[in-house]
Amino acid sequence: MLIIYAFAVLVVVLPAVLVPVAATRWVPALRAGRAAERLRLAVAALDGVLGRFGTALVVLLAGSAAVVAVCWPLGEALSRLEPHVDWPVFEYVHARRVTGWAELNAFVTAIGDRYPLKWVTVVAALVFAVLWRHRRWWVPLLAMPLQFALEQYTQEILATVVDRGHPPTDLGTYPSGGCARVMLTFGTIALLAGLTWRLPRAGRIALATGVALLVAVEGYTRIYAEKHWLTDVLGGWIFGSLLFGVMALALLVAEGRIRPPARRPEPARQEVPAGG
């Protein structure tokens, strides 16, 4: 039983430590890297042909297809771990369930269900539309429902093509939709908040850490409530993070926040005098 409580502490401590470290050390390096520069160049080229919103749509469709292309073989690989990882973890948790802790986890895990997140999506869309009334107010009205639909249908595609089954206690399958929905919904809210207000760097890191904590806790509760295999949750974390990255990039492109890299000055040519 001690391992179960220790894991609960771990899913809180790890995001609280890793997200600020990633935001201060790894993210700046990635943004200054060659891959980020190529991405900005590609976005600028598409923007010149399709405009901002056409480019955002291309990013959304191509990015979603890329997420499926990555998470499909990942799901097949994780499925092979079911007898060696998922069943031992399931049986360990099932044999050590405590009524009070189980009830608390059942209550908390509902935050990742579709019904409550529909209301969160609607309320957030309306609130940000009001806050954006002096700019493109319809962007939040479009972005919030779009992230909800994007997660639902992309997840259904993966669940169909992988078709790995579910635990004997529930119908949850790969990838964990609860984890992905929490990531997409609250991640998009955090991104819209960052676009609405000029938040300091510490504020943006705090928002990202809060979202990561919600996603991590959702994964833990899905396992303890016996709604998903452990590998479903791992797949849900990866799937949700990748899909949110696509959604965030599309939204930033639509808002004109992805600027082309500055042109490097061409080296001066030395003129060779006539006659050598």
Give the residue extent of every domain in the chain: 2-254
User: Residue 186 and residue 183: Cα distance in Å, rounded?
Assistant: 6
pLDDT at 135: 85
DSSP characters over 13-51:
HHHHHHHHHIIIIIHHHHHTSHHHHHHHHHHHHHHHHHH
> Which own/partner pairs from 122-130 qualify as long-range (CB within 8 Å, at least 24 positions apart)?
124/185, 124/188, 124/189, 124/192, 128/192, 128/196
DSSP state of 172: -
**Interval 64-116: pLDDT, tens:** 999 999 999 999 999 999 999 999 999 999 999 999 999 999 999 999 999 99
pLDDT at 244: 97
At residue 87, the 3 state secondary structure works out as helix
The fraction of the chain above a pLDDT of 90, given in percent, is 84
pTM, full prediction: 0.93
Greatest C-alpha distance within the chain: 94
**Interval 106-161: pLDDT, tens:** 999 999 999 999 999 999 999 999 999 888 899 999 999 999 999 999 999 999 99
For range 163-177, the mean pLDDT: 94
